[in-house]
Amino acid sequence: MYTPKSSFSATQSEYAQLVAKSPEANGVYCNHCGATPAIDLDFHAHRAMFVISRYRKLMGPFCRDCGLASFRKMTGDSLIQGWWGPFSAFVSNPNTLLANTINRVRLRRLPPPIPGAPTLPMDPGRPLWQRPAIAGLLVPIIAPCLVLAGMINAPTPADPQPDHRDLDRFLQIYQPVNPQFPVPTTVPARAAN
Ligand SMILES: [Zn+2]
């Protein structure tokens, strides 16, 4: 539930009187701009770096505009930053994205915020699918393909051994320069019996 700050509580009170007769007011006020109607839910972002991971949380309630802006920001950040750890890639980040998507669907029920709130609602900006961050959806598709390709191309014990013919050729023409160890030029005669 929105808790008005003391500096503009009178304004929030005036806004509450303004919307009292509106059929769209639901008695829940946005935690970020103070507008109504609003819905009580949260949005999360996940960030992973190998074994280290971190969650961020934007707490509701949200009006429709603040909720849309928060969903797009937090989900976009997770699509880029959330995949880079083994547990995060398979568990934490998919769960974060799923929870945000469910809350996005719940947010859809809200009509636009009633004008006159103490603070302007956030600008929702461009839809998520029109942002570069949407490319992060490809990470869980491309990464397994790269790993699979690496496994297929990895050398196996059955592979032929390295070719030593160049080394053999070098040893055939090599003559040691140390006279104490001359290379025999002829095969020693066999001792007579
Ligand atoms: Zn708001």
Average pLDDT for 178-185: 59
More confident position, 145 or 95: 95
Q: Which helix (H) or strand (E) holds 47?
A: strand 43-49
- Ligand 1 geometric centre to CA of 58 (Å): 12
For 43-73, write each residue's pLDDT tens digit.
Answer: 999 999 988 999 999 999 999 999 999 999 9
Residues near ion ligand 1 (Cβ under 5 Å)? 30, 32-33, 35, 63, 66, 121
Q: Is the pTM of this model over 0.75?
A: no
- Determine the pLDDT at residue 162: 62
Interacting residues of 94 by C-beta distance below 8 A, sequence separation 6+: 140
Contacts 24+ apart (CB under 8 A), 173-176: none
Most confident of 8-12, 71-75, 113-117: 71-75
- Ligand 1 geometric centre to CA of 34 (Å): 6
